[in-house]
Structure 1
């Protein structure tokens, strides 16, 4: 009998993030892998393995790449720190008031995902927010943010919605508590426009929208919102994302992913059907206007 090849260990989420960031930095520098190999002496095959999260780069190699790409602090220090912990599971990214020029880790993962399962208890999901609603939310949640910081975050939130326009659009399954629909964020007109936008988004074949009505009573989503991201490659396991006041928390342990998947399944079963959910949102639009 032939030997069975050992199953490849899935790369930790930090290593996947590091690989994606190095790939992004090379691409915005306008360099091919062969260009990098010629300028640094790093073998092109080695660079491919680094950029696909198959190996963690050695410190000397990583410094050489950052020098070539012209990466300065604070981004440089963050990437070096990420590399030092790349083999560890889970990831808590401390909260920062401003949005860096590069996309944050969550947005990058979302852009690479095949599907997103999102439960929201207080907000309309970011991928389904109108610009006016997003601006009102960001101003309310971050009262100390400057107008420039608000603009940066609004722009990033709107740009995220391009995932529905890709050749293979993102599959979004969003479940909202009714409370997220009844809170008048930005005033009656902004909220009416947002609710109307939701009814139109629900017609997209790549978007499934459900609402958990107040009449359901207590349910498993009450402790807080969460996102489950699924990726095209089997070797890239699903990731749980939780946004908190302390920062962005990424969970990748199999038991965590399984637990949140089960919670989402319970929420899906307790929520109204997609058709009934759209009917409820339509009724709220009429109430608001």
Structure 2
């Protein structure tokens, strides 16, 4: 059930970035609170996302911490002042917080990149394909729970269908294409949908055929969401227990480099479409 303690992904990220900013300045929370003229408890509440922070206070914190990156500071201000409620918040009582955070971060991303070995990206799945995927979740969800998750996944796809779609690049392994999720008819419809989506100007689909052999990051699904500034990028990894969000700068750089290598290893978009056509004909 939703509670007042439910905190959005971006508000959590704001709190994390303010704490990291203070730590980079070499200041303890006590020193920072004294410099800012505020109580230690208030600063702790801001850094744990229990309290919000005003633009004026945020800019004062940046000055106190000697942060001169104005683009970064203003990007944080944008998060602090954003009071809009996203559609995903209506699912707080029915879906895990990880899925809600993913939808929120995708919605606010300026660009997206993904790489999948055994699955087709959720942003490019059909209703029937997604429904079969969620039926396989352990522990088994009830039919209403499955439908809630399918609806959420399809609603996430708004970001690539809206009038100002998010630029999206994905790499998909041949293994995911050949899995007959839901049977022959569902699999064929899914591949045809993937082909249709790959023709859109803002979507790039690349295929990694079995022939490439081993490659960096094999076995790991990666969602990478670009923020308004590089410091606010987020990488999301799918784990058995649920999605994991990463924001450490070293890890973000690692996954950007990994995606670069995987894309360079994959077929070109044109050859990828030909490859998908071939698999469709074989079904």
Which of residues 119, 125, 128 in structure 2 aligns to 1:123? 119
Are the aligned partners of 2:112 and 2:169 in contact in 1 as well (CA < 8 Å)? yes
Which protein is richer in helix relative to its size? 2
Change (3 A) 1:169 1:186: same
The 5 Å alignment of 1:77-96 reads none
Alignment CA distance shift 1:114-1:187 (3 Å): same
Of 233, 237, 245, 1:238 maps to 233
RMSD (CA atoms): 3.3
Structure 1 segments of 4 or more deviating over 6 A?
A: 47-50
Gaps of 5+ in 2: 1-8, 17-51, 59-74, 84-91
- Residues 171/112 of structure 1: CA separation in 2 closer, same or farther (3 Å cut): same
Structure scoring higher RCO (CA < 8 A, sep ≥ 6) equals 1
2:176 corresponds to which residue? 180
Q: Could you say if the C-alpha distance between residues 282 and 13 of structure 1 is closer, same or farther in structure 2, counting changes exceeding 3 Å?
A: farther
Q: 1:192 aligns with which of 188, 191, 194?
A: 188
Q: Give the match for residue 285 of structure 1.
A: 280
CA contact (8 A) 2:98 2:244 kept: no
Residue 54 of structure 2: which of 24, 46, 51 is its match? 46
TM-score by length of 1: 0.67
How many residues are paired up?
215
Q: Equivalent of 1:253, from 248, 256, 261?
A: 248
Determine the structure 1 residue equivalent to 2:270. 275
Relative distance call for 1:49 and 1:225 in structure 2 (3 A) is farther
Alignment TM-score, normalising by the size of structure 2: 0.68
Gaps spanning 5+ residues in structure 1: where?
A: 1-10, 19-43, 58-64, 66-74, 76-95
The within-5 A match list for 1:147-162 is 147-162=143-158
**The one of 164, 167, 171 aligned to 2:167:** 171
What CA deviation, in whole Å up to 9, does each residue of 1:72-94 have, x standing for no partner?
Answer: xxx7xxxxxxxxxxxxxxxxxxx
